[in-house]
Amino acid sequence: MSGTYLGMPSFPEAARGAVNNPTLRANLRHATHTIRAKRAVAVEELADWGLLREAGKQIKDRTLRYLDTYLVELENKVTAAGGVVHWAADAQEANRIVVDLVAATGEREVVKVKSMATQEIGLNEALEAAGIAAFETDLAELIVQLGEDRPSHILVPAIHRNRGEIREIFARTMSEWGRPAPEDLSDAPAELAEAARLHLREKFLRAKVGISGANFMVAETGTLVVLESEGNGRMCLTLPEMLISVVGIEKIVPSWRDLEVFLQTLPRSSTAERMNPYTSTWTGTTSEDGPQVFHLVLLDNGRTATLADEVGRQALRCIRCSACLNVCPVYERAGGHAYGSVYPGPIGAILSPQLRGTQSDIDASLPYASSLCGACYDVCPVAIDIPEVLVHLRERVADQGGKGHRLEKAAMTAAGWILNHPAALATGERLASKTRTLHPKNPPGAGAWTQARDLPELPGEPFRDWWKKNRT
Ligand code: SF4
């Protein structure tokens, strides 16, 4: 994944700043509560929501089971329609393909539709290293880029910013990138949106290369689909001469009939809309209409390894609606940056450690970034059992060792032995009762546990002795 996140500390450490920042917490609380309330109303409207959810789950599961077949079908259809398909095993390969394609045109700048896959691989940084400027055109992504920030939410990447902060970023930085913000810019949403629109318009009209992701790819016709609210995506997809789409291999659906299910569940789950304002679809190239050169980069980058895990593979069903973030009590307090990945919140906690492995501090800590309350599972439109995957990944992290886990393992081994030897257990209990006044309040190694909890006091008499006296 992106080098931007390399060397991130563990989740608790990374979250400390956010948890102690009242402005950030207020921004997050306000935004997540507003979106979640609207989503609940939008979902309630559909009497067959449960059936749609189950259909989405089953379509995704079946597609993942025959992923190789559908991907080859897609490749054939895209090629027949005039597109070129590239296969990228990892981030490095995907970046190399895109950089080479753009460099071959001689262009030094590209416009981008919001795309999580390109953020995952750190494409902007790779383009910059090759002397190519990438301009984000989604309003929230623009705010993140101008503020030299990182996205903190799947749907609203600048959710951690309030209107005043956005006004300040626009006023300070727009002139460095192109058309400056108006001098009398206020923090009224309409004025901010207009400033962004004017700033971006000149880039749309100038750019010869557009880069996108896709929400879905339809195998039966080789069609890519982008859902968005602002219209910037439509501009990126239609105005440039060359379009390069970088898409994770799990984004495929077999047919338009299958797509129909997600076109109902995704808008309601994400923006709480009955239908998203812009649905753009394109199949290869069309003479004298839209980009005349189309490249599709199919990205693996850990997805095949994730698919091999029977429990963890359900994370690949995700349609990136962000509903799980908006109900998560941990995300609400910690914010998105602490997850150390372009995928924050509950889905990030199960996806990033699978795509990247659990070796780094941040990835080994992510499966623990949850209270396991299950709210994420309840709202997920493709019924990903996130708590189940979290527990499964915790097991994987524990198995690989590490300081805390070694201690836990040693304690469990000792407990196993003593529970198998009743006489030793009885002696131990009596000894523990007799010496209870000498026990430390914070036993070594249990600091994280006792910091917020009282260690229960041992009774003066073991239960077995009490039972003998009172019940026999
Ligand atoms: S895990 Fe489910 S709820 Fe969360 S973003 Fe993905 S599809 Fe949406």
pLDDT of 6: 65
Q: How do residues 33-49 score in pLDDT, each as one tens digit?
A: 999 999 999 999 999 99
The pLDDT confidence band at residue 1, using thresholds 50, 70 and 90, is very low
pLDDT of 401 = 80
Amino acid 146 reads: L
Pairing of strands 109-112, 133-136: parallel
Instruction: Report whether residue 355 contacts ligand 1, using a CB cutoff of 6 Å.
Output: no
Given a cut of 70, whether residue 75 has pLDDT beyond it is yes
Q: Is the pLDDT of residue 243 over 90?
A: yes
Burial (Cβ within 10 Å: 0-12, 13-18, ≥19) of residue 42: middle
Rounded CA gap, 345 and 355, in Å? 15
269 and 39 Cβ atoms separated by less than 8 Å: yes
Whether ligand 1 lies within 6 angstroms of the CB of 126 is answered as: no
Give the confidence band of 410 by pLDDT, cuts at 50, 70, 90.
confident
Look at ligand 1, atom 6, and give the residue with the nearest C-alpha.
318
In the prediction, which pLDDT does 3 show? Answer: 42
Which token pair is 444?
Answer: 């070594």
Kindly report, residue by residue over 289-327, the tens digit of the pLDDT.
999 999 999 999 999 999 999 999 999 999 999 999 999
For residues 280 and 237, give the distance between their C-alpha atoms in angstroms, rounded to a whole number: 8
Residue 403 banded pLDDT, cuts 50, 70, 90: low
> Could you tell me if the CB of 383 is within 6 A of ligand 1?
no
**Do the beta carbons of residue 112 and residue 211 sit within 8 Å?**
yes
Q: Regarding the domain delimited by 3-303, which CATH topology (the fold level of the hierarchy) does it fall under?
A: Rossmann fold (3.40.50)
User: How much is the average pLDDT of 171-179?
Assistant: 93
82: left (phi over 0), alpha (psi -120 to 50) or beta: left
**Residue 323 Cβ < 6 Å to ligand 1:** yes
Residue 175 has pLDDT above 70, yes or no: yes
Residue with tokens 């006044």: 437
* Cβ atoms of residues 296 and 76 within 8 Å: no
Selected residue with higher pLDDT from 449 and 222: 222
Q: Residue 406: what pLDDT?
A: 78
Residue 5: pLDDT band (50, 70, 90) is low
CA dist list (Å): 11 to 14, 156, 336, 364:
5, 21, 11, 9
Determine the pLDDT at residue 2: 41
> Separation of 321 CA from ligand 1 center, angstroms?
5
Give the residue-averaged pLDDT of 441-457. Answer: 74
**The predicted structure's pLDDT at residue 23:** 86
Per-residue tokens: 77: 């259809």
pLDDT of residue 35: 94
Q: What is the mean pLDDT of the chain?
A: 93
CB of 283 closer than 8 Å to CB of 221: yes
Q: Rounded to whole angstroms, how far apart are CA atoms 356 and 344? A: 14
> Using a 6 Å cutoff on CB, does residue 270 contact ligand 1?
no
Taking each helix axis from N to C end, the angle separating 386-399 and 403-419, rounded to the nearest 10 degrees, works out to 90
Average pLDDT for 273-287:
95
Q: What radius of gyration, in Å, describes the C-alpha atoms of the chain?
A: 26
What region, left, alpha or beta, does residue 322 occupy, with left being phi > 0 and alpha being psi -120 to 50 degrees? left
Q: Is the Cβ atom of 324 under 6 angstroms away from ligand 1?
A: yes
| Phi and psi at residue 7, to the nearest 5° | 75, 15
Is 30 within 8 Å of 24 (Cβ atoms)? no
Q: What percent of the chain has pLDDT over 70?
A: 97
pLDDT for the residue 151: 87
Confidence (pTM): 0.88
Domain boundaries, the chain: 3-303, 403-471
Residue 158 confidence class, pLDDT cut points 50, 70, 90: confident
Model confidence at 152, in pLDDT bands (50, 70, 90)?
A: confident
Q: Tell which residue, 382, 389, 276, has the closest CA to residue 323.
A: 382
Say if ligand 1 is within 6 A of residue 322 CB.
yes
Q: Is 266 in the pocket of ligand 1 (CB under 6 A)?
A: no
- Paired sense of beta strands 278-283 and 242-248, if any: unpaired
Q: Stretch 88-99: mean pLDDT, rounded?
A: 98
**Ligand 1 center to 272 CA (angstroms):** 14
**Of 321, 326, 376, which is best to mutate to test ligand 1, by the most ligand atoms within 8 angstroms of its C-beta?**
321
* pLDDT for the residue 87: 98
CA of 323 to the centre of ligand 1 (A): 6
**What tokens appear for 40 in the block?**
């609940």
With a 6 A CB cut-off, is 384 part of the ligand 1 pocket? Answer: yes
**Ligand 1: which residue has its CA nearest to atom 4?**
324
Expressed in angstroms and rounded, the spacing between residue 112 Cα and the centre of ligand 1 is 23
The closest of 179, 211, 212 to 197, measured between CA atoms, is: 179
pLDDT recorded at residue 50: 97
Q: Name residue, tokens 């509950």.
A: 346
Q: Write down the pLDDT at residue 204.
A: 94
d(CA 411, CA 156): 44
pLDDT at 300: 98
Per-residue pLDDT at 211: 98
Q: Whose CA is nearest to atom 7 of ligand 1?
A: 318
The pLDDT value given to residue 451: 74
- Atom index in ligand 1 nearest the CA of residue 317 equals 7
Residue 454 has pLDDT above 50, yes or no: yes
User: Ligand 1: which of 216, 269, 385 to mutate, most ligand atoms within 8 Å of CB?
Assistant: 269
Q: Tell which atom from ligand 1 comes closest to the C-alpha of 347.
A: 1
Does 381 sit in the ligand 1 pocket, CB within 6 Å? yes
- The residue whose C-alpha atom lies closest to atom 2 belonging to ligand 1 is 380
Q: How far is CA 149 from CA 28, 91, 145, 187, 308, in A?
A: 16, 21, 6, 19, 34
**What percentage of residues in the chain have a pLDDT greater than 90?**
81
Ligand 1 pocket member 382 (CB < 6 A) = yes
Q: What is the pLDDT of residue 441?
A: 75
Question: Quick one: three-class SS letters along the chain?
Answer: CCHHHCCCCCHHHHHHHHHCCHHHHHHHHHHHHHHHHHHHHHHHCCCCHHHHHHHHHHHHHHHHHCHHHHHHHHHHHHHHCCCEEEEECCHHHHHHHHHHHHHHHCCCEEEECCCHHHHHCCHHHHHHHCCCEEEECCHHHHHHHHCCCCCCCCCCCCCCCCHHHHHHHHHHHHHHHCCCCCCCCCCCHHHHHHHHHHHHHHHHHHCCEEEECCCEEECCCCEEEEEECCCHHHHHHHCCCEEEEEEEHHHEECCHHHHHHHHHHHHHHHCCCCCCCEEEEEECCECCECCCEEEEEEECCCHHHHHCCCCHHHHHHCCCCCHHHHHCHHHHHHCCHHHCCCCCHHHHHHHHHHHHCCCCHHHHHHHHCCCCCCHHHHHCCCCCCHHHHHHHHHHHHHHCCCHHHHHHHHHHHHHHHHHCCHHHHHHHHHHHHHCHHHCCCCCCCCHHHHCCCCCCCCCCCCHHHHHHHHHC
- How does residue 455 score in pLDDT terms, banded at 50, 70 and 90? confident
